[in-house]
Amino acid sequence: MWRRGIVLAVLGVLLGLLMILHARVPNTVGNLGSLLETFLPWLGVGIPVLLVLAVLRRSATALVALLLPAVAWANLFAGQVTDKAGTGGNLTVATHNVDAGNPDPAATARDIVTSGADVVALEELTGEALPAYKRELAKAYPHSTVQGTVGLWSKRPLSDAAPVDIKMGWTRALRATVTASDGQKFAVYVAHLPSVRVKVEAGFTANQRDGSAAALGEAIAADPLEKAVLLGDLNGTMNDRSLAPVTAQMRSAQGAAGDGFGFTWPAAFPMARIDQIMMKGMDPVHAWSLPSTGSDHLPIAASVKI
């Protein structure tokens, strides 16, 4: 039983090392490091597969070797599968990539209203669908601004709304000041970073997104207000090193106060959380995913203590 399953044991060790050393996988060739980190939690699927094979093979060596990936996965992600929701939030924010091809934008807008969020960000707005969103959201959210293909709707007063240059050639990010019910002011950023693709000849095509993330990070770092919230589709996960210009200075609401991984894309079978609610100078209390709409992304929300 110790001599059998050597190949399975080697695969188990390699799986564990890939988790432990994921930051050492280079991005110089096809952005492989970022691609791995985008779907890093899914490496855990290999553990039960190898476990079943080890049992069928009756290999004690393979079973022992599986301790390495099991411990590595638990060290990386065990904290994410527990419920960290708290109480005491005094502001609810939500964000949703509504999908340019959404077949029923009015219904999606009504779904957003039922979330009860105080501040709502929408991405991938089109000229054809925008009137429907404005019409359905107007009553619940009297304050709004739309810049390019992103928009912000709020129950609280907005000021200083302006586009944010994320080096794309057209507007897919904005910044506005929100005044809370107690008079406190905080900045809200809405961003839709460039899409990424996996191509055989080019690998993980994320270079344009990475440049936009750097520009967004610079804008947030230079903001004159101490409190800020980022809402949007970043086309990347918190594990992705290339989003460090943003993630290094802000907390993830899901990571701090979520329950589970909270994957948002694709809506039919979510495999990655590329939609984010992040903040600095504020405390996330609870984060959750909202029911599917007509979009290919799930909307997400978070309760915040200002």
Question: What's the chain's average pLDDT?
Answer: 95
Extract the tokens encoding 47: 């553990």
Does the pLDDT at position 99 exceed 90?
Answer: yes
What is the average per-residue pLDDT within 224-244? Answer: 97
Q: Name 216's Cβ contacts closer than 8 Å, sequence gap at least 6.
A: 164, 166, 173, 189, 191, 193, 230, 245, 246
pLDDT above 80 for 115: yes
Give me the pLDDT at residue 88, please. Answer: 86
Share of the chain above pLDDT 70, in %: 99
**Assigned CATH topology for domain 91-305:** Deoxyribonuclease I; Chain A (3.60.10)
The reply to whether the predicted model has a pTM over 0.85 is: yes
Per-residue pLDDT, 205: 87
Q: Give the pLDDT mean for 200-222.
A: 91
Q: Where in the chain is the domain with CATH 3.60.10.10?
A: 91-305
pLDDT one-digit tens code per residue, 14-72: 999 999 999 999 998 889 999 999 999 999 999 999 999 999 999 999 999 999 999 99
Q: Which residue has the higher pLDDT, 205 or 278?
A: 278
